[in-house]
């Protein structure tokens, strides 16, 4: 046994049961006036293991000194915070950042956030959020990787590396955080898109869609995993021994910590699987949950649960060992809470790059964009154009709205010789007649109108499910009245999810999907509007044309009666299209690209062989630009039907006008199988289609094939 293991065993042997339960407990300051406000200093003297939502290095250092010097055994406290898309410098919400299709960027922003948070005394973040979601009614889609499990797995690996560093055995250090993969598992499939609701999906969907990103995080050495609030087919995740211990620990060999979501252990009673807190605590601990977040269920219930024979002290000890090992991995036993002065500059340049590359141009009729640097007045209309706070988005940690850049200010700085006027035109969700009149007057006198519409930050994220995820009616009415003036009009859409407003989108001259872009939101949008940067983002979700299409995604299974506009008795709607308004991967630039050829290195492979596929892409437009090429596979005849498209590769090219590049994709045998296939599985004999394009729109894809021959 090494020195680290000796210290853990000595501490476990020296602890009383109450001290052990304290180590398994995470507390948080509660809002003023809330019942049972914890006395954190007293709790630390009694051995409290973890604290959530305390911020500020001075305060954290003071509390850590109490844990290290005034508790009986001197065990350090684990301080944690939701550092989801930045700490002080805020990057785009994850769904927006996914639009870059670039793991290098995802890793870089996580590393920058980790550096800021660790210098503030935070050691553990509750990110990355890996919930694949195909239902934009669910507000938390903003926090996650979109609809594709392969891309989400790429995101998982990049974020874990960024937060923790390249060495999975040692995520500690002055510039790193322990990462927590959440929410295990299938939270993005909640019924009706309603937060905290039940989930009932097939075993095949669980294995091929929702589990792969978590498997990737485990393989990357993620420090912690958080079970989801939800139940899966009647079994709450917080109490699922089959998945938390059986799958995660025994099958995947996950050796980190499992931390419950906020109050989730106590909520096992509300789920109807425990009659009281001791039963709930025993159920969660037996399932494998090591840390009880804020419910006090372990300290209040486990001692009684042991007396009832519901759980053993050996199970308690195992959980304490895992918590102590995490603290060692994070270097907390070696950190004497000495204040750190961070002299590094805030990563604003990285925030601007991330924000710029997260913007998706979905429409640009007649070259309406970019705007000319010289010309007449620009009228900026819409209730979000001057809002700095909303640009930060949900879960923006310690981001300060005063440090954020709004669109109006950025446009005035970017177009110094053009007059930029601003009027909100309406409230967020209700009309305002005087504001409308002022906006129409400005728009009527303008050469160009920039409409800034969408959601405020509180309309996305946790607790923000929307039955009708649309642009609010008051804003649509404002836009239609502006459009009636006949001025060239650009729509800047801010949101944390796809929003349905198909008629509006068809009438504007150009449209930028900008999500919540963070600290440099306004500057990034202004740069793209001015043509200082060409938009290069691509949608990580299918964008519905009608609310009734939801849930919607590109990787559908084939059906016996594919949709036909001329045949009523096929899989279609009689009142709406089947296809999304914008396909997964859709995104325009200030130039155009074409794929000339898709070439597998060999026409036939064995079931244990991989194949290299090259794709030649060319810039066919007048300007330089960056594009991402997506590589899909399709097995048209399989024992079990496969989706019509499955993403298996992403590569980017930056090309001058007329230039071309050859991109290489190395497909392994696993890439030709469904995600989540059983270990040792091999591709079935037969033809495999390989398709390359810029989106999942079938009309845009170039196709080749390889044949798997019996081996």
Where in the sequence numbering do the catalytic residues fall? 261
Q: Which residue has the tokens 């995947």?
A: 252
Phi, psi dihedral angles at 659 (to 5 degrees)? -80, 160
Q: Do 442 and 421 form a contact (C-beta atoms < 8 A)?
A: yes
* Residue 308 burial (C-beta neighbours within 10 Å; 0-12, 13-18, 19+): exposed
* Residue 159 burial (C-beta neighbours within 10 Å; 0-12, 13-18, 19+): buried
Q: For residue 620, count other CB atoms closer than 10 A to its CB.
A: 14
Q: Do 377 and 439 form a contact (C-beta atoms < 8 A)?
A: no
Q: If DSSP codes are grouped into helix, strand and coil, which group holds residue 659?
A: coil
Q: Which residues contact 125 (CB under 8 A, 6 or more apart)?
A: 80, 81, 82, 83, 84, 113, 114, 117, 163, 177, 178, 179, 180
**Radius of gyration, alpha carbons of the chain:** 26
Phi, psi dihedral angles at 470 (to 5 degrees)? -130, 165
Q: Do 440 and 455 form a contact (C-beta atoms < 8 A)?
A: no
Q: If DSSP codes are grouped into helix, strand and coil, which group holds residue 452?
A: strand
Numbers of helices and strands, H then E, in the chain: 21, 24
Read out DSSP for 155-182?
A: HHHHHHHHHH-S-TT---STT--B-EEE
Q: Do 40 and 29 form a contact (C-beta atoms < 8 A)?
A: yes
The CA-atom distances, in angstroms, between 193 and each of 188, 556, 559, 580 are 8, 19, 24, 18
CA angle 688, 691, 692 (to 5 degrees): 155
Question: Of 336, 418, 404, 425, nearest to 376 (Cα)?
Answer: 418
Per residue in 81-113, is it b (16+ CB within 10 Å) or e — as a string?
bbbbbbbbbbbbbbbbbbbbbbbebbbbbbbbb
Q: If DSSP codes are grouped into helix, strand and coil, which group holds residue 339?
A: coil
* Residue 710 burial (C-beta neighbours within 10 Å; 0-12, 13-18, 19+): exposed
Q: Do 492 and 512 form a contact (C-beta atoms < 8 A)?
A: yes
Fill in the DSSP letter of residue 354: H
Q: If DSSP codes are grouped into helix, strand and coil, which group holds residue 31?
A: coil
């Amino acid at each position: 046994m090494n020195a680290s293991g000796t210290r853990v065993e000595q501490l476990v042997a020296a602890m009383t049961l109450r001290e052990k339960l304290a180590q398994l407990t995470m507390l948080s300051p509660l809002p003023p006036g809330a019942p049972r406000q914890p006395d954190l200093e007293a709790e630390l003297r009694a051995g409290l293991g973890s604290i959530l939502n305390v911020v500020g290095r001075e305060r954290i250092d003071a509390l850590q000194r109490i844990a290290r010097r005034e508790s009986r055994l001197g065990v350090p406290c684990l301080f944690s915070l939701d550092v989801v898309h930045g700490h002080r410098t805020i990057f785009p919400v994850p769904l927006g950042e996914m639009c870059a299709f670039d793991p290098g960027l995802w890793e870089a922003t996580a590393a920058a956030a980790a550096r800021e948070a660790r210098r503030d005394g935070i050691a553990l973040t509750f990110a990355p959020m890996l919930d694949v979601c195909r239902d934009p009614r669910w507000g938390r889609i903003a926090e996650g990787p979109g609809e594709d499990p392969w891309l989400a797995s790429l995101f998982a690996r990049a974020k874990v590396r960024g937060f923790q560093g390249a060495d999975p055995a040692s995520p500690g250090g002055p510039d790193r955080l322990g990462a927590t993969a959440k929410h295990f598992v299938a939270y993005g499939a909640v019924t009706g898109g309603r937060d905290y609701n039940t989930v009932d999906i097939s075993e095949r969907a669980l294995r091929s869609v929702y589990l792969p990103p978590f498997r990737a995080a485990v393989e990357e050495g993620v420090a912690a995993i958080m079970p989801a609030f939800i139940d899966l087919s009647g079994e709450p995740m917080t109490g699922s021994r089959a998945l938390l211990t059986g799958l995660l620990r025994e099958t995947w060999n996950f050796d980190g910590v499992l931390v419950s979501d906020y109050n989730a252990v106590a909520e096992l009673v509300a789920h109807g699987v425990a009659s009281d807190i001791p039963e709930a605590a025993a159920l969660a601990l037996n399932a494998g949950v090591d840390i009880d977040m804020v419910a006090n269920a372990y300290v209040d219930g486990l001692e009684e649960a042991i007396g009832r024979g519901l759980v053993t002290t050996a199970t308690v000890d195992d959980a304490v060992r895992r918590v102590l090992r995490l603290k060692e991995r994070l270097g907390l036993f070696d950190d004497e809470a000495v204040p750190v002065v961070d002299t590094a500059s805030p990563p604003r340049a990285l925030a601007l790059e991330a924000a710029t590359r997260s913007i998706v141009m979905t429409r640009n009729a007649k070259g309406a964009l970019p705007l000319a640097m010289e010309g007449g007045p620009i009228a900026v209309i819409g209730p979000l154009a001057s809002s700095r706070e909303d640009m930060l988005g949900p879960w923006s940690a310690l981001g300060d709205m005063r440090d954020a850049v709004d669109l109006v200010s950025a446009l005035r700085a970017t177009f110094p010789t053009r007059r930029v006027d601003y009027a909100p035109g309406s409230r967020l969700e209700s009309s305002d007649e005087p504001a409308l009149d002022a906006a129409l007057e400005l728009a009527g006198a303008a050469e160009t109108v920039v409409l800034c519409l969408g959601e405020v930050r509180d309309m996305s994220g946790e607790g923000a499910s929307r039955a009708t995820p649309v642009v609010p009616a008051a804003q649509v009415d404002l836009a239609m009245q502006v459009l009636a003036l006949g001025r060239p009009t650009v729509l800047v859409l801010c949101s944390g999810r796809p929003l349905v407003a198909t008629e509006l989108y068809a009438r504007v001259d150009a449209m930028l999907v900008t999500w919540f872009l963070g600290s440099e939101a306004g500057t990034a949008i202004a740069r793209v509007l001015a043509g200082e940067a060409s938009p290069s983002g691509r949608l990580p979700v299918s964008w519905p044309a009608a609310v009734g299409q939801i849930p919607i995604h590109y990787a559908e299974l084939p059906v016996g009666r594919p949709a036909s506009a001329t045949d009523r008795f096929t899989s279609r709607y009689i009142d709406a299209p089947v296809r999304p308004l914008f396909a997964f991967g859709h995104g325009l630039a200030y130039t155009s690209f074409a794929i000339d050829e898709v070439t597998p290195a060999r026409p036939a492979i064995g079931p244990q062989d991989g194949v290299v596929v090259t794709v030649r892409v060319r810039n066919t437009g007048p300007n330089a630009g960056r594009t991402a090429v997506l590589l899909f596979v399709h097995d048209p005849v399989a024992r079990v039907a496969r989706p019509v498209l499955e993403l298996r590769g992403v590569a980017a090219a930056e090309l001058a006008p007329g230039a071309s590049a050859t991109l290489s994709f190395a497909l392994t045998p696993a890439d030709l199988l469904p995600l989540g296939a059983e270990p040792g599985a091999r591709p079935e004999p037969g033809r495999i289609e390989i398709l390359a394009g810029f989106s999942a729109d079938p009309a845009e894809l170039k196709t080749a094939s390889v044949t798997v021959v019996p081996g």
